Amino acid sequence: MTESQRYRRLGKYELHTLIGEGAMGIVWKAYDTVLRRYVALKLLGSHFRKTKEMQERFLREARAAGAIQHPNIVTVYDLGDVDGQLYIAMELVEGRDLSDIITLREPMALERKLDLIIELLDGLHFAHQRGVIHRDVKPSNVRVVPDGRVKIMDFGIARLQSADASGSGAIVGTPTYMAPEQITNGAITPATDVFAVGCMLYELLSFHKPFEGESVHGVLYQVLTTEPKPLRTLAPSIPAALERVVGKAMNKVPDERYETAAQMQSTLLGIRAALSGAGDETTQRLGIRWTPLPGPVLKLVTQAPMKWRIAVLSALALVVALLLFSPTPPAADEVAPPRVTERPTVPGPVASQIPPVSPALSARRDSALAARDRAVQAGALKNNTTSMVLAETMFQVSEQALLAGNQTQALNGYVAVLEQYRKATAEAQTLQRDATQMIQRVTPTVQAIPAGPSVANAATFLARADSLLRAQDYTMAKVAAQSAEQVAIDAGIAPPSSQPTDTRGAIEVLLTDLGRALASERVGNVRVIYPKMTDAERRGWETFFHDWEQITARFTIERFNAQGGAASADVRALFEYIPAGGGAPRQDRRRFGMRFEKASVGWRVSAVAELK
C-alpha cells in the first residue's frame, strides 16, 4: 500500500487528521496532492446542499470570503463540490484559539490583550470594506499563531453585505456574541461584528462572559434586554476610557456603536499608546526621558582631551538645566479629549451684540438662561413640550427687545419666561416619570412570555424603550414600551390592572388580577402578579394547571394589615374547575396567608403560604 492509499481522499485532497467539528461541518488537516501543501479542509454539512439555491448562495458568499487577502484573515485557497460534498480549503494555521486562552485565564499584559483586539479589528475592517461581514466573531474563531499574530477564521458563514439572497432568515451566530439585530433578523452591518468584538474584549479583560443564562433562550433575552455588569467591577485595574470603549461597542442600538471597525481600532490604538507611553501624536510625554548618546558621539567624547570633555559635559548640563526649569505645556489627555457639553443654542443675540444693561436686567436674563438650561437638561426641548415651545418664543422676543434697546420690555419678558421654563421642566419630568413607570410595568410582563418568536420581538421593543429613555426621548420610549406590552398581550400574558391609591383597594384589584392569571392557566401570568415566586412554587403552579382545567378563582380578604410599603392578609380562595381527566365541575376552598409589597409599578404579591 502506497503512502497516499492510506488516507481517505476527496478529489485532490488526502484527509489526514480530524481537527474539529461544529454546526457547519467537520474540519480535516488535509494534504493537497497537486500543490503539495497541507490545508485545513472544511467539509460542509448536508443542510448546505438542500436546494440548488442554497448551494449557489453558499458558493457565492464563500468566493467573496476567498477574495479577501489579509495578514489577519485565514486565506481561503479553494472551494468546490466533489460527489455532492461541498468543501472549503483554507490556510492551515498553527497556534491556539483565543477561547482556550480565556478559559485557562492565562496571565497576559493589558497591552498584549489590546494588541490582539486591534489586529482583529484590522482584519474585520478590511473585510467590511469589501462588503463581507463575518457574523460569527467569537474567541473560538480567533487564532493566535506562534509568532503572536491574530488570524480570523471561519468566514464561511459570512454574508455579502450587498447580497440579494436572504436565505431562510434563520438566526446565524453564537448567542453570547450575537448582536440584537441578529436575534431579531434586523439589518446586518459592520456594526454587527463590532458588537461581537466588544463582547470578546469584555470577556478577555474580565474572564467573564457579558451575557450568561441557563439556556440559549436566556442568553438571547439577556442580549436583548439587559446591560452586562460594569466592566471595572470585574477588572478594576483597567482604565475608565477602555471601559467606555467596550460599552460603546456593545450598545444595543447599532447606530450608537462605532460606525466602523477602524473607528474602534483607532480609539484602542490611542489607549494602547497611552499605556505604553508612546510619544506619538495621541500622547504627551509624562516627563523627561534620557536618550542614550549615539555611539560615534560617545566615542568622540570619551576619547577627546580632558578640557574638551569638560566643555562638552558643561554644555550638556546647561541643556539639562534649561529643560528642567523651562515651563512645560499643559499635558494633553492621553487617550482622547473629553467631550464638552455645549450649552444648547439660545435664540437671540450673542454676548458681543448685547448693549450695556442694568444689573437687575442682567440678573433676570441670567435667571431665565439658567431656567432654560434646566428645562433642556430635563428633556423639555427634545420632547417639544407645550410650555417649552411657548417659552422659547417668549425668550426670543425678549432677546430682540434687548437688542433694540427696549430694556423694560426685555425685563418683563425675562420675568414671564422664567415661569414658562419651570412649567416646561415639570412637563418633561412628568413625561420621564410616565415612560419610566411604563417600562417598569412592562418589564415583568415581557419576562413572563414563554420561549418563542414573541419574546424576541417584545424584548427588542423593550430594549428600544430603555435606549430612548436614556436618550430623553420620553414620548417614543413610552410608545416602544406599549408596543412591547401589546406583543405580550398577543402572546397571552396580561399586564396588571391600574390600582387605586388606597392600600386595601389596591390589594383587592391585585387579587382580581391573580384570579385572571389563574384562569389563563399560564405560570407567566402568575409571575407578573407574584414576581418573587420560587422554583418550587413555579413547579406547584405547573402541577396545578396540569391537573385542573377551566379554572375560576375568587379571593376574599378576611384579615388585613398594612404599614407603609408592606401589607399582609388572610385570604379565602374559592376555586371552581374541571379535572384534567374530565368529569363534573368541582369546587375547592382554601385559605392562604399572603404578604404584599409596594413596588414602583404598584402592589405585588411577595409571599404565599397555605393556612390549615
* Residue 286, pLDDT above cutoff 90: no
* Residue 56, pLDDT above cutoff 60: yes
For the ranges 130-134, 206-210, 454-458, the lowest mean pLDDT is seen at 454-458
Cβ burial, residue 205 (10 Å; 0-12/13-18/19+): buried
The confidence score (pLDDT) of residue 349 equals: 46
Amino acid at site 298: L
C-alpha distances in angstroms, 537 versus 245, 399, 590? Answer: 43, 66, 16
The confidence score (pLDDT) of residue 499 equals: 84
Helix intervals (H) in 130-215:
180-183, 190-206
The active-site residue out of 81, 97, 100, 136 is: 136
pLDDT (mean) for 159-182: 59
C-alpha distances in angstroms, 577 versus 69, 520, 537, 573? Answer: 69, 12, 20, 13
Q: Which residue has the cell 421654563?
A: 421
Contact between 243 and 231 (Cβ < 8 Å): yes
The confidence score (pLDDT) of residue 4 equals: 47
pLDDT (mean) for 237-260: 92
How far is residue 475's CA from residue 75's CA, in Å, rounded to a whole number? Answer: 50
φ and ψ at residue 542, rounded to 5 degrees = -65, -40
**pLDDT tens, position by position, 570-609:** 999 999 988 887 888 889 999 999 999 998 778 999 999 9
The confidence score (pLDDT) of residue 595 equals: 94
Cβ burial, residue 164 (10 Å; 0-12/13-18/19+): exposed
User: Given pLDDT bands bounded at 50, 70 and 90, which one contains residue 328?
Assistant: very low
**pLDDT tens, position by position, 191-205:** 999 999 999 999 999
Q: Which three cell numbers stand for residue 334?
A: 492621553
Q: Is the dihedral of CA 525, 526, 529, 530 positive or negative?
A: negative
What's CA 348's distance to the chain center, in Å? 40
pLDDT (mean) for 142-153: 90
595 CB-near residues (< 8 Å, 6+ apart) = 566, 567, 568, 605, 606, 607
The confidence score (pLDDT) of residue 58 equals: 66
The confidence score (pLDDT) of residue 400 equals: 86
For the ranges 239-253, 283-297, 506-520, 532-546, the lowest mean pLDDT is seen at 283-297
The confidence score (pLDDT) of residue 283 equals: 35
The dihedral over CA atoms of 250, 256, 260, 262, expressed in degrees to the nearest 10, equals: -70
What does the domain layout of the chain look like in residue ranges? 1-92, 96-285, 354-493, 503-611
Radius of gyration of the chain (CA): 34
* Residue 139, pLDDT above cutoff 90: yes
* Residue 385, pLDDT above cutoff 70: yes
**pLDDT tens, position by position, 408-454:** 888 888 898 999 999 999 999 999 988 888 888 788 777 777 666 77
Q: What single string gives the DSSP state of each residue in 336-349?
A: -PPPP-PPPPPSS-
* Residue 276, pLDDT above cutoff 90: no
Contact between 493 and 522 (Cβ < 8 Å): yes
Class (C level, CATH) for 503-611: alpha beta
CATH fold, domain 1-92, is Phosphorylase Kinase; domain 1 (3.30.200)
C-alpha distances in angstroms, 231 versus 130, 241, 244, 513? Answer: 33, 11, 9, 40
* Residue 472, pLDDT above cutoff 70: yes
The confidence score (pLDDT) of residue 200 equals: 96
Q: What 8-state DSSP symbol labels residue 169?
A: -
The confidence score (pLDDT) of residue 151 equals: 93
C-alpha distances in angstroms, 166 versus 58, 60, 161, 372, 586? Answer: 11, 13, 11, 50, 54
The confidence score (pLDDT) of residue 329 equals: 42
Q: What single string gives the DSSP state of each residue in 455-492?
A: HHHHHHHHHHHHHHHHTT-HHHHHHHHHHHHHHHHHTT
The confidence score (pLDDT) of residue 47 equals: 62
C-alpha distances in angstroms, 126 versus 130, 133, 259, 476? Answer: 7, 10, 14, 37
How far is residue 172's CA from residue 224's CA, in Å, rounded to a whole number? Answer: 16
The confidence score (pLDDT) of residue 243 equals: 93
Contact between 484 and 442 (Cβ < 8 Å): yes
Contact between 568 and 561 (Cβ < 8 Å): yes
Q: What single string gives the DSSP state of each residue in 245-290?
A: HHHHHT-SSGGGS-SSHHHHHHHHHHHHHHHHT--STT----S---
User: Given pLDDT bands bounded at 50, 70 and 90, which one contains residue 528?
Assistant: confident
Q: Is 506 helix (H, G, I), strand (E, B) or coil?
A: helix
**pLDDT tens, position by position, 396-412:** 888 888 888 888 888 88
pLDDT (mean) for 458-468: 83
Q: Which three cell numbers stand for residue 53?
A: 439555491
Q: Which three cell numbers stand for residue 517?
A: 392569571
Mean pLDDT of the chain: 79
Q: Is the dihedral of CA 118, 120, 125, 126 positive or negative?
A: positive
Higher pLDDT, 325 or 55: 55
How far is residue 391's CA from residue 344's CA, in Å, rounded to a whole number? Answer: 14
C-alpha distances in angstroms, 600 versus 289, 437, 438, 478? Answer: 58, 7, 10, 16
The dihedral over CA atoms of 437, 439, 440, 445, expressed in degrees to the nearest 10, equals: 130
How far is residue 575's CA from residue 554's CA, in Å, rounded to a whole number? Answer: 7
Q: What 8-state DSSP symbol labels residue 156?
A: G
pLDDT (mean) for 482-486: 77
How far is residue 406's CA from residue 217's CA, in Å, rounded to a whole number? Answer: 67
φ and ψ at residue 113, rounded to 5 degrees = -60, -40
**pLDDT tens, position by position, 59-114:** 666 776 677 889 999 888 888 888 878 888 888 988 899 999 999 998 889 999 99
136 catalytic per annotation: yes
The per-residue b/e assignment along 317-352, b for 16 or more CB within 10 angstroms, e otherwise, is eeeeeeeeeeeeeeeeebbbeeeeeeeeebebeeee
* Residue 234, pLDDT above cutoff 70: yes
% of the chain at pLDDT higher than 70: 78
* Residue 292, pLDDT above cutoff 50: no
Q: Which three cell numbers stand for residue 612?
A: 390549615
How far is residue 122's CA from residue 66's CA, in Å, rounded to a whole number? Answer: 17
Q: Which residue has the cell 426621548?
A: 473
204 CB-near residues (< 8 Å, 6+ apart) = 98, 102, 113, 116, 117, 139
φ and ψ at residue 249, rounded to 5 degrees = -65, -30
How far is residue 52's CA from residue 377's CA, in Å, rounded to a whole number? Answer: 58
CATH fold, domain 96-285, is Transferase(Phosphotransferase); domain 1 (1.10.510)
